[in-house]
Amino acid sequence: MALLQISEPGESTAPHQHRLAVGIDLGTTNSLVATVRNGVAGVLNDEQGHPLLPSIVRYGADGSVETGYEAERERSHDPKNTIVSVKRFMGRGLRDIAYIENSPYDFVDTPGMVQIRTAAGVKSPVEVSAELLRVMRVRAEKSLGGELVGAVVTVPAYFDDAQRQATKDAASIAGLNVMRLLNEPTAAAIAYGLDNASEGVYAVYDLGGGTFDFSILRLSTGVFEVLATSGDAALGGDDFDHRLFCWVLEQEKLPPLSVSDTSLLLAKARQVKEYLTNHSEVRFNAKLSTGTVVDVPVSQSDFWEMTRHLVVKTLVPTRKALRDAGLLFSDVKGVVMVGGATRMPHVQRAVEGCFGQPPLNNLDPDKVVALGAAMQANALAGNKSVDEDWLLLDVIPLSLGLETMGGLVERVIHRNSTIPVSKAQEFTTFKDGQTAMSIHVVQGERELVSDCRSLARFELRGIPPMVAGAARIRVTFQVDADGLLAVSAKETTSGAEASVAVKPSYGLSDERITNMLKDSFEHAGDDLRIRALREQQVEAERMLESVGAALGQDEALLEAAELAAIRTALNGLKTLSRQSDHRAIKHAIDELNRLTEPFAARRMDRSVQQALTGKSLASL
Amino acid sequence: MPITLTERAATHVTNFLAKRGKGVGLRLGVRTTGCSGLAYKLEYADALNPEDLTFDSHGVKVVVDPKSLPYIDGTELDFAREGLNEGFKFNNPNVKDECGCGESFNV
């Protein structure tokens, strides 16, 4: 007999009509699956009662696959085939991965995404993640007694297109229908916002196993709006383990360790770190394969001291996001703590010191993201009554735009715009009779295309020949709720159309996003000058071309002195436009304009005369 | 005959109501639908209708509308675990046969 769940009043589902949906937190260190049952969001445990699945996959030579705790047990014996923190490799090339020299894996540098050679063959991070998601799906189906209609999978706010796409692909391989990719901090806000019904500006401080995300959100009457995001893609609880591990090496003056001993000590470091959350002292002891016995006392204050720089490192993006949102620490009504690493007392204390208030931590920081995702999944699956409907808004991390003449960037969608979003802008042709236009989509905050990241290129053909500036080309940028971009261009008079869906095979690393943002602030002054110069250069080129064309046709209309003056001005402008003084170019353009004014007037008069000659007044 | 909850079921209902933060009790009923004619209804009760019948079982207010009562009179609601799955089960003495899944039934 089926086991029934309690529904909201009037929402009882018909038999066999249950819309089972789950939220999955695919974490760097641990993964979780949660659902809303009996109106309450809860994490689903495995057969042994564990809520977490360590995000670890081990491949055996016989093709067997072990995941979670099973794989973790073998980690120190078989580190090369036991993949931990695979999320760091999602959608990344070999060069993007931090601390790669400390990873025991046999990486294969394939174009697009790095792959890992294991006993069971070469595996991509997408396949490894899919193994974890499959375990989550099976657990959910066993727990809910039926097939899932869909899942909401969370990703760090800073994940770019390639990383989001990789996550989506992994879910499809695992047999999940992804209803929505949701930013982790947004999911945490859902869990807190809905459960506690709070309104105002909130910050989400998410220090997970391998990533740090900081987001500013505004919650008002059931609407979640992400005002700003920032973070550090290579900072997390793992780094605290690693620091402790290095400290032990220094204390014990250990020689370079074998791969399996390194794994052993790292696992031990994690245990010690967790123990020090609630205890003031512990002994770090382990027996290495060489027979050496490691035994060092570690106090809470030792640990805090050696990792203080890591805590300080989280406060840099924190300040930046606040600055981006135009807010002060005092504007923030509450700080939501997410991620197991926020359990560390010195992290809590640093956040409290910064914001001048104790952070919110009444929900389990390991589960909060999964719980929020489950609520979102429940709403998307249609299990939520209409009056409780809520809207979810996210933002894009970097501006999107296209290349214009002179290698300049015209931004169409600005950074931190809420998604889904669609914006259109009109562009025109630069040359007479131009019938095609190359559209180059770029991402970034800098003024020059060469300093931004190229996302896609496509051509719009079939523009009817017209004089420069007459064609009307409408370029539409559309970013869907998952943060994926599509660009289309349409020439409005002829209806010629072209479009591209931006699915980069190879994503932008989060460090690069951060660096690009930093660069844009540091180079703001240079960029301004370069933009001014390029604009004048483009204008000069346009001027030289049109005056040149006019002279070619109607030189006869000018007297010798006039012609000489114009030619001198033309040559002067030509020389100046190759130099870098935008004011001088502007001056020369104005001068040429002034000189050619009578010439233009005469050309105009003559064409009017030609049009009128030989026609009677009546025929006009 | 009263409608009752087992102690285990009552504990869970009390917990869910507390987490949900509102609701006066648990509404049991039937609807005419499903592959065998009737289907159970199991919902939170936020308000009582004047005609509703109420029973008290282990501290939980059980609400039943008078039209549903004949079909579920004497039912005991239990909370069960089957592997990883968990949920509520109707032990209904009136049932003659039910569909394979037990979500709908006939009296």
A87 is catalytic: yes
> If residue A30 lies in a helix (H) or strand (E), which one and from where to where?
strand A30-37
B7 vs A: CB within 8 A:
no
Q: What is the pLDDT of residue A195?
A: 44
Average pLDDT (A80-92) is 88
Q: Which two tokens stand for residue A129?
A: 């993640």
Using CA coordinates, name the residue in chain A closest to B89. Answer: A3
Active-site residue, selected from the candidate residues A66, A131, A160, A206: A206
**Is pLDDT larger for residue A180 or for residue A98?**
A180
Parallel/antiparallel/unpaired status of strands A391-395 and A223-232: parallel
Regarding the domain with residue range A400-510, which homologous superfamily does it belong to in the CATH classification? Substrate Binding Domain Of DNAk; Chain A, domain 1 (2.60.34.10)
Return the SS3 of A558: coil
Regarding the domain with residue range A21-196+364-388, which homologous superfamily does it belong to in the CATH classification? ATPase, nucleotide binding domain (3.30.420.40)
Read off the pLDDT band of A496 (50, 70, 90). confident
With beta carbons less than 8 A apart as the criterion, state whether A177 and A150 touch.
yes
Which of B16, B84, B102 is opposite residue A40, by nearest beta carbon?
B16
Instruction: Report how far apart the first and last C-alpha atoms of chain B are (Å, whole number).
Output: 16
With beta carbons less than 8 A apart as the criterion, state whether A148 and A21 touch.
yes
* Amino acid identity, position A600: A
Q: In chain B, what residues touch A145 (CB-CB under 8 Å)?
A: 82, 85, 87
Which of B44, B83, B103 is opposite residue A2, by nearest beta carbon?
B103
ipTM for this model: 0.83
Q: What is the pLDDT of residue A362?
A: 85
Per-residue pLDDT of A125-176, as tens digits, reads 999 999 999 999 999 998 888 888 899 999 987 777 778 888 988 998 888 9
CB contact under 8 A, B101 and A15: yes
The pTM is what? 0.62
**Is pLDDT larger for residue A1 or for residue B42?**
B42
Using the predicted structure, report yes or no on whether residue A199 has a pLDDT greater than 60.
Answer: yes
Q: What is the C-alpha to C-alpha distance for residues A126 and A189, in angstroms, rounded to an integer?
A: 27
From edge to edge, which strands make up the β-sheet containing B25-31?
B53-57, B60-64, B25-31, B38-45, B104-106, B97-98
> How far B1 CA sits from the closest chain A CA (Å)?
23
B89 vs A: CB within 8 A:
yes
Q: What is the pLDDT of residue A221?
A: 58
> How far B11 CA sits from the closest chain A CA (Å)?
13
Per-residue pLDDT of A422-441, as tens digits, reads 888 888 888 888 888 888 98
Q: What is the pLDDT of residue A479?
A: 83
Per-residue pLDDT of B42-88, as tens digits, reads 999 988 888 899 999 999 999 998 888 888 889 999 998 887 788 89
Which of B40, B86, B101 is opposite residue A16, by nearest beta carbon?
B101
Peptide bond into A420 cis (omega under 30): yes
Per DSSP, A102 falls in state G
Q: What are phi and psi of A200, to 5 degrees?
A: 125, -170
A3 vs B: CB within 8 A:
yes
> How far B6 CA sits from the closest chain A CA (Å)?
15
Substitution target from A3, A35, A36, A37 for chain B, most B beta carbons within 10 A? A3
Using CA coordinates, name the residue in chain B closest to A138. Answer: B84
Q: In chain B, what residues touch A38 (CB-CB under 8 Å)?
A: 12, 16
Residues of chain A with CATH 3.30.420.40: 21-196+364-388
Q: What is the pLDDT of residue A504?
A: 45
Q: Which two tokens stand for residue A311?
A: 């805590």
B39 vs A: CB within 8 A:
yes
A206 is catalytic: yes
Q: What is the C-alpha to C-alpha distance for residues A40 and A511, in angstroms, rounded to an integer?
A: 38
Q: In chain B, what residues touch A6 (CB-CB under 8 Å)?
A: 13, 16, 26, 42-44, 88
Nearest to A165 by CA among A482, A387, A453, A476: A482
Residues of chain A with CATH 2.60.34.10: 400-510
CB contact under 8 A, B103 and A142: no
**Looking at the domain that runs over A527-618, which CATH code has it been given?**
1.20.1270.10
CB contact under 8 A, A3 and B80: yes
> How far B107 CA sits from the closest chain A CA (Å)?
16
> How far A345 CA sits from the closest chain B CA (Å)?
28
